[in-house]
Chains A and B, each alone.
Chain A
């Protein structure tokens, strides 16, 4: 099955700085990589995802890059704001196919200091 490793486990930045979270996966057949943001006591919310036919995707201050050869993908948040503080999870399809059976990383606690 898929194994997803996520780093760092905690990340502290000043408001306006950039934040980068990295994930590696094990199954070369995986073709869909979502990122979820989870605030305390709330549900995980999809913030961006990328499919294996592209190397980068951007949505305003958020971007995701994918390196299929190295089997890693990263979340980039620019111009961070205090409301970006949350736990971020990367995920990859268990078994390689892009349906909802996802394997999640361990999570990164992002703290943005005003």
Chain B
């Protein structure tokens, strides 16, 4: 079990630039989730996929954010025209899907917008 991996682990970008994060879930997991966590807060749900289908998006996910999971394996989260308020840790998680299956988090991608 290699766990959920995320890349890059840290990203510093200038305001207005675009950034993309990648997540590779645990290999047999068909559900993939993106969360955002700011300092001193718990993770907040952004979106999730079952296989390649994006089934739900939080209202936190503005139109500058887009997530894809084209082949039902890895996923990307892109933020366009970054703002300072986007600075956070972006956590990916995966699960086997269905009810009652535990989700496992990756180490996260830290974004700092300067």
Q: How far is the CA of A102 from the CA of B108 in the complex (A)?
A: 17
Say yes or no for B71: interface residue by CB 8 A criterion. Answer: no
Set A34, A49, A51, A99: member contacting B31, Cβ < 8 A: A99
Say yes or no for B73: interface residue by CB 8 A criterion. Answer: no
User: For chain B, what secondary structure do more than half of its interface residues adopt (helix, strand, loop), or is it mixed?
Assistant: loop
Asked whether, in the complex, the Cβ of B40 is within 8 Å of the Cβ of A107, the reply is yes
Set B42, B48, B100, B107: member contacting A101, Cβ < 8 A: B48
Say yes or no for B98: interface residue by CB 8 A criterion. Answer: yes
Number of A-B contacts (CB under 8 A): 57
- Whether A100 contacts B91 in the complex (CB less than 8 A), given A43-B106, A51-B100, comes out as no
Q: How far is the CA of A90 from the CA of B27 in the complex (A)?
A: 26
Could you name 5 residue pairs across A and B whose Cβ atoms are closer than 8 Å?
A: A43-B105, A102-B43, A102-B45, A104-B42, A107-B40
Task: Give residues in A with beta carbon < 8 Å to B.
Answer: 32, 34, 36, 42-46, 49, 51, 89, 91, 94, 97-107
Apart from A104-B44, A106-B41, 9 more pairs, CB < 8 Å = A43-B106, A51-B100, A91-B42, A94-B45, A99-B99, A100-B31, A100-B95, A102-B45, A107-B42
